[in-house]
Amino acid sequence: MKRFSANFVGRENEIKELEKYYNSGRSSRESRGAQLDIVVDRADNIITLCEVKYSRGLYHLTKEEYLKLQNRIEMFQAEEKGKIKKGIQYVLITNYGLSQSQYNSVFSKVITFYSLF
């Protein structure tokens, strides 16, 4: 597996694996599927789950979207339970940032597309 470094998930970190996560939700215990846009397995024992959103201005997180995000996190954790012993952080990547909302605490960090380059 090729390793590379990136600083878009915090300080300069070596990334062990970069992938996308998808669960169709077809099993009997799951009623809805889940997709995580980017899953970063970092060398510092942190898994960063990235949600990527485009908007024409500041992205506004609604209650409905917040509940969907919580479902994605819970499904990922349930599927990975016992397989991984790493910390998990949830990061929003968007073009203009995030507007104020009572639901913003779901994200550990918010970064803009422009800070990636």
- All structural domains of the chain, each given as residue ranges with its CATH number in brackets, are 12-116 (3.40.1350.10)
Stretch 36-61: mean pLDDT: 88
- The model's pTM is 0.75
Alpha-carbon distance values, 16 to 50, 58, 73, 86 (Å)? 15, 31, 20, 13
Stretch 36-54: mean pLDDT: 86
Residues paired with 22 in a beta bridge: 35
Collapsed DSSP state (helix, strand, coil) of residue 117: coil
57-92 pLDDT, tens digit each: 999 999 999 999 998 888 888 877 767 788 888 999
pLDDT for 87: 85
**Confidence check: pLDDT of 16 > 60:** no
92 vs 100: CA distance, rounded Å = 14
Q: List CB contacts of 83: < 8 A, sequence separation 6 or more.
A: none
**Confidence check: pLDDT of 96 > 60:** yes
Determine the residue type at 70: Q
